[in-house]
Amino acid sequence: MPALTHTEAVERAQLLDVHGYDVHLDLTTGEETFRSSTTIDFTARTTGDTFVELKPHTLHHAELDGRPLDPATLEDNRLPLTGLTPGRHRLHIEADMRYSRTGEGMHRFTDPADGESYVYTQLFLDEVERVFPSFNQPDLKAVFNASVTAPAEWTVLGNGIATREGNRWTLAPTPPLSTYFVAFAAGPWHSVHTEHAGLPFGLHCRRSLAPHLDSDAEELFGITRACFDRFHQTFDEPYPFDSYDQAFVPEFNAGAMENPGLVTFRDEFLYRSAVTDTERQTRGVVIAHEMAHMWFGDLVTLKWWDDIWLNESFAEYMGYQVLSEATRFTGPWTEFAISRKSWGYDADQRPTTHPVAPDPEAVHDTAAALLNFDGISYSKGAGALRQLVAWLGEKDFLAGINDHFARHRFGNATLADFIDSLDRVSDRDVHDWARHWLRTSGVDTLTPEVSMVSEENGGWRLDLHHHGSRPHQLRIACYDHQEDGRLTAREPLTLQLTADGGTHTHHFTGTRPDLLLLNDQDLTYAKIRLDPHSWNTALNALSALPDPLNRAVTWNAARDMVRDAQLAPAAYLQAARAHLPRETDNAIARGVLTFARTQLTDHYTTAHDRPAALATLADTARELLEHTGPHDALRLTAVRALIDSTTEPGILHDWLRTETVPGGPALDPELRWRTLTRLAVLGALTTTEIDAELRRDPSATGREGAARCRAALPDPAAKEAAWQAMYGGDELSNYLFTATAQGFWQAEQLDLLRPFAERYFTDAVALAARRGPALAITAGREGFPRILVEDATLRLTEDCLREAAPVPALRRQLTERLDDLRRALRVRRAP
């Protein structure tokens, strides 16, 4: 299937105005296909040729203005429309479309818990043609009239309020939408309804998850109402659609999707097991993020995919900001700093980095666009906006946003349009700011060097080395270390760094602070270093820093030093061992432990040093347990870390036998499968025990847990069976493929796994070409042999990229995994 190029999109937009779609789907024709009947009304401005995108199982009939079109002319999922004359036209197409099992197009899922089936759409970017024909590009907006015929026991959801007559559901006409926002979800949903601000609000999930939705419905509605009201206080433009449904759907590839009026979420956000308040906060951020999209993306939509930051960076920023302003959650920005921001930093240091707002020529087609939905467009973009607000001021920032909405409502806009709106309300040179922040790639690094000016008269000097090319509105926190161990804060320093880089020298009176922390409150996007005296203070008193956000900034500095081979992994672990038992913020504890257990122990630590690293982590988790009560969120984080780090299967067997951790918590399904996975890795679990657990938990997540456990067994036959399941056929869903791949590659099993490395680079390339971009991304991200941090893996990856011609989605993943391997080898070989 050829990707739509930017040139083609520009030419088609110059030729056509699309007025409306009339789409009818019949979901009663079987489990493999559904019927799609579509009429498109459009105007041609001039004489010309174009095409409509369509990926049918069977194309039954097509006609333009009543004239039949030859189905045989459909090639590469494009149906030519030739000889268009100026004026109105009507295109009608009847086709059978295939259900997806990979989360793309119209995904069909049968719940193993009760046998009920559900379907939902994910039409993002270029998947619309799997459901109905369209002129599929974001700047050809149109009104959609849709109806669905469904089995009698099903409920149908869509972008507008649905009414039912017999088995046919009719959805209210939409305002002008881009094609990728059209959404349907159908099945025997369990639903909870309410009303707010005169609009119907709904929550929906599959029936087997009904108890979990019911237990959280008030919290979910509470967050939704609070964010809805806060957005109306912030934006002049009211919510632009007729209802607000949130559907928690199975096997969803993304975290959520901002379909107007029908937001879809992965249904792991309905918690079957105990979770921390940090996880509930993260769910709240996603709710706020998707609601922000109703304005950023849905009301005003990018013109082409080079401006995805106008959607994602703004929704990311507003999600964290609005949740912190409107709800009980006070720590969203701490979680962003310790967990989310590293996604952007890591992506921005790889060879695949790109500007937040790249030139259109760099996003030459939709295949290239798909690759840019990454940590740069989300995390870095939000970090840049946080800096913009610090520099511009919130009042002017919001005034510019409202000007942007007013000028482009239900239309399309570009970076230049948005910057013009900010320029209209501010006396700052926003165009220059955007040039430095949005049109460049890479991470600036800020390194302080502190010296005393005079031992007799006091005074100290700060030489701030700025490696980079962006201006920064920078705050510097200053702390003194007291004899009782406390850190007391002085007034922070505020500096303006120009885009020239270089060294900025500043003189101050009095004694130097014991801890000088650049990027106080995490208001800019840059890697920071600590001077030796400050780092020594941090090693002694990090947990005493009074502000959790600044503790997160300090831990991030340590993380970057490890990744840049400037701090030994063992030193990071010792800092964690010293300070995490006294940490009070769960997001920080989770972020530090996650980095330590995954990247640090599995990739940056040699096989010789790994047992000691795991022992340090296990000891840290045990001490955390000693310092927490049964209802402390940190306790669950500690239990998870201990399960993942222990090398003593006897402890885990004891927990399974008693069905609880001593002192709590009880082993719920998530903890049971986590424990069983670790036992499988250690060779202390049998297939009989896996089968018994699956009978106990026959849910979809139970199936994933069993697949993960089977693949983790240190047995050649088990590994071969897992490999064949992943690459020998096309039956696995994206979720089951992910679970199998996660279980397969284990750092405890290097000798057993080495023979599979070479096979990966042939089998993954074939799978990606066969099954499409969603599985290609999964195979590159989860299936890659990243635990084989060896020169041989490096050479195999280089050979594959040079000779095997992987599809773009897999090529991007392999390029990034190659860079990760090189970094891991540098860290391991550092003196």
> What are the residue ranges of helices labelled H in 713-807?
716-727, 734-744, 750-771, 773-781, 791-803
Catalytic residues: 290
pLDDT of residue 453: 79
The token duo for 63 is: 């006609």
Sheet holding 58-64, edge to edge: 67-68, 58-64, 87-98, 33-44, 16-26, 143-149, 168-171, 162-165
pLDDT of residue 2: 86
User: Cα–Cα distance between 493 and 504 in angstroms, integer?
Assistant: 14
Domain 1-179 homologous superfamily, CATH: tricorn interacting facor f3 domain (2.60.40.1730)
The token duo for 89 is: 């036209």
For residue 412, give the nearest of 232, 607, 93, 181 by alpha carbon: 181
Residue type, 829: R
Q: Please, are residues 540 and 517 in contact by the beta-carbon 8 Å criterion?
A: no
pLDDT of residue 1: 64
Question: Can you give 74-125 as a three-state secondary structure string?
Answer: CECCEEEEEEECCEEEEEEEEEEEECECCCCEEEEEECCCCCCEEEEEECCC
Burial (CB count <10 Å: 0-12, 13-18, 19+), residue 31: exposed
- Domain boundary assignment for the chain: 1-179, 648-713, 732-831
Task: Give, for 810, the enclosing helix (H) or strand (E).
Answer: helix 808-829
Q: Please, are residues 635 and 628 in contact by the beta-carbon 8 Å criterion?
A: yes
> What are the residue ranges of helices labelled H in 269-412?
277-293, 309-326, 332-335, 341-348, 366-371, 381-392, 394-408
Residue found by looking up tokens 């004489």 in the block: 47
pLDDT of residue 478: 97
pLDDT tens per residue, range 359-403? 988 999 999 999 999 999 999 999 999 999 999 999 999 999 999
pLDDT tens per residue, range 280-301? 999 999 999 999 999 999 999 9
* Mean pLDDT (10-residue bins), the chain, 831 residues: 92 98 98 98 98 98 98 97 98 98 97 98 96 98 98 98 98 98 98 98 98 98 98 98 98 97 98 96 98 98 96 97 97 97 97 95 94 96 97 96 97 96 95 96 97 79 96 97 93 94 93 96 98 96 96 98 97 97 96 97 97 98 91 92 98 97 95 98 98 98 98 98 97 97 98 98 98 96 98 98 97 98 98 89
Length of the chain: 831
Instruction: Check the CA dihedral 618-623-626-631 and report its sign.
Output: negative
